[in-house]
Amino acid sequence: MKNKTLLKVILILFILLNISFINHKDFKIATISGNKYGMVIKNGSEKEKVVALTFDDGPHPKYTNQILDILNKYDAKATFFVLGKFAETYPKIVQRQWKEGHEIGNHTYSHININKTSREKLQEEYEKTQNIIYSLTKREPRVFRPPYGSFDEKAMDIVEKNNSIIVLWSAHQDSKDWSNPEIDKIVNTTLSNIKNGDIILFHDYVYYDKSHTVEALNRILPELKNRGYKFVTVSQLIDLSLE
């Protein structure tokens, strides 16, 4: 009897959780408290052969420029989720990203864990970073990536009020490159699972003497290009998916 009740509770929870994510034009839209909040995106539509490369935690004084060179070489547009504190330290790199047609997203000022942060502190980190990016590009970011991919209702509130969108990544496209795994591993994670509409997670800021991400990109980009993929920004991916 006890087991049956437990099973029922689990089943109801399972159903409720599924209902809270409704499919709309191929995205998952979170509907905490009934469709009150904005979009949370993990991937775009599979209709077109496009993927969104995303880079977190930068700008890095050395690796971000190397990544920008590679992106240029393969005519790829990407999205950089920058930290406010590094955008402040390396403003010229953010301006280069913007000038070269990439999208700049907000990744908080100092990489806070939202679940352990007060609403006031989150608001401050979010706005400070929006303002720094605006001062460099004259455009407020439309996309926000919560550090560690963890967020809650207060984050959704703030993002919605700013007409912004929470951007996560495709579950099978986490290269874990922040831990500098072997180059082969990063390349294989991306290439073996690639699907139309993927949002691929990389890090341009790594705390190592050599970035394996940079090396891996030199192999990933030509291969994906050969396979016919186009590299778009997250906002372009969203717009394509809404068409």
Residues recognised as catalytic: 56, 203
In this complex, which beta carbon is closest to Zn ion, that of residue 35 or of residue 115?
Answer: 115
Using CB under 5 A, count the residues that bind Zn ion: 3
Q: Which amino acid is at 155?
A: A
The residue assigned the tokens 């502190």 is 121
Half-sphere exposure of 4 (CA within 13 A, CB side): 1
In this complex, which beta carbon is closest to Zn ion, that of residue 130 or of residue 241?
Answer: 130
Beta bridge partners of 78: 53
Residues 21-60 that bind Zn ion (CB under 5 A): 56-57
Q: x-or-dash pattern for Zn ion, window 126-155, by CB under 5 A?
A: ---------------------x--------
Of all residues in this chain, which one has the CB nearest to Zn ion in the complex?
A: 56
In this complex, which beta carbon is closest to Zn ion, that of residue 216 or of residue 224?
Answer: 216
CB neighbours of residue 25 within 10 Å: 11
Cα gap 93→83, rounded to integer Å: 12
Q: How far is the CB of 175 from Zn ion (least distance, A)?
A: 13
In this complex, which beta carbon is closest to Zn ion, that of residue 107 or of residue 142?
Answer: 107
- Name the pairing type of β-strands 50-56 and 78-82: parallel
DSSP-derived 3-state class of residue 5? helix
The residue assigned the tokens 């049956």 is 4
Q: What angle do CA 73, 74, 77 make, to 5 degrees?
A: 105
Residues 172-231 that bind Zn ion (CB under 5 A): none
**If 0-12 CB within 10 Å is exposed, 13-18 middle and 19+ buried, where does residue 165 land?**
buried
Residue-by-residue DSSP string for 93-153:
HHHHHHHTT-EEEE--SS---GGGS-HHHHHHHHHHHHHHHHHHHSS--SEE--GGG---H
In this complex, which beta carbon is closest to Zn ion, that of residue 80 or of residue 229?
Answer: 80
Q: Which residues bind Zn ion (CB under 5 A)?
A: 56-57, 147
